[in-house]
Amino acid sequence: MDETEFNRLADAMLKRIEDALDAQALDLEVKPGGVIEVAFDDGSRIIINRHTAAREIWIAARSGGFHFRPENGRWVGTRDGAELMEALGRLVSGQAGRPIAF
C-alpha cells in the first residue's frame, strides 16, 4: 500500500475514533498530524496517532503500546489480531473506570 492510500484509510479511521470518543463525552484533544489525546480524571492519557512509515495506527495507553494495520478492510492488532475499535474500547474503559463500547 502506498503512502497516499494509507493516509486516506488512516484519516477515515482517526475521524471515526474522534467521533466515537466525542460521543462518549470524553475529554479529547485533536492535534495536527493525526494525533488524538484522551485525558482521564486520574491524570492518565491515551494517545492515538498514525505512523506513516510503518503504515500503522498506534495507541499508547497506561497498559502499553498497541499497533494496528489495515488488513482486508479492517484495522487489526499486529500482535494479537484484535480489531482496533474493540481494543480501544477496552483500553478506554480501563482508564475511565467505566464500561465504554464503540
Interval 25-80: pLDDT, tens:
899 999 998 899 999 999 999 999 999 999 999 999 999 999 999 999 999 999 99
Mean of all residue pLDDT scores within the chain: 95
**Which domains does the chain show, CATH number per domain?**
3-96 (3.30.920.10)
| Long-range contacts of residues 39-42, Cβ cutoff 8 Å, at least 24 apart | 40/95, 40/96, 40/97, 41/96, 41/97, 42/95, 42/97
pTM of the model: 0.93
- Which pLDDT score, from 0 to 100, does residue 88 have? 97
Interval 4-20: pLDDT, tens:
999 999 999 999 999 99
- Which pLDDT score, from 0 to 100, does residue 64 have? 96
